[in-house]
Amino acid sequence: MVRNLKLNPHKVGLTVGTMFVIVHTIWGVGIALGFAQTLLDWMMSLHFVQVTHSYSSFNLTSLLTLLVVAAVRGYVGGYILASVWNYWNKK
């Protein structure tokens, strides 16, 4: 186990938030270009789940809202993760 490794909560939050935004941007592009339903069907079939729903039509306002929410949740989650890590690894 890595000991005495202190993480910067702000940097971890930014990293995780950025990752969340990238993933959700790819999803939004998939919806805009029309291949998201095929991707969703394939991903769910890997988990032995039959898809009984479909996505809505592309809406730029919804995508931007999704990206903001993903960024905030990713930042907060990363910040908390790093803070808990630092707390558990104190001397």
pLDDT digits (tens, 9 = 90+) for 8-66: 999 999 999 999 999 999 999 999 998 988 888 898 899 998 878 777 889 999 999 99
Residue 91 reports pLDDT greater than 70: no
In whole angstroms, give the CA distance from residue 53 to residue 44.
11
Higher per-residue confidence, 81 vs 39: 81
Confidence of residue 2 (pLDDT cuts 50, 70, 90): low
Query: Which pLDDT score, from 0 to 100, does residue 25 have?
Result: 97
* Total number of residues shown for the chain: 91
In whole angstroms, give the CA distance from residue 89 to residue 3.
7
Residue 70 reports pLDDT greater than 70: yes
Query: Which pLDDT score, from 0 to 100, does residue 39 have?
Result: 87
Contact at 8 Å (CB) between 91 and 8? no
The pTM (predicted TM-score) of the whole model is 0.83
- Four-CA torsion 43, 82, 90, 4, nearest 10 degrees: 70
Write the Ramachandran bin of 21: left for phi over 0, alpha for psi from -120 to 50, otherwise beta. Answer: alpha
Query: Which pLDDT score, from 0 to 100, does residue 54 have?
Result: 77
Contact at 8 Å (CB) between 70 and 20? yes
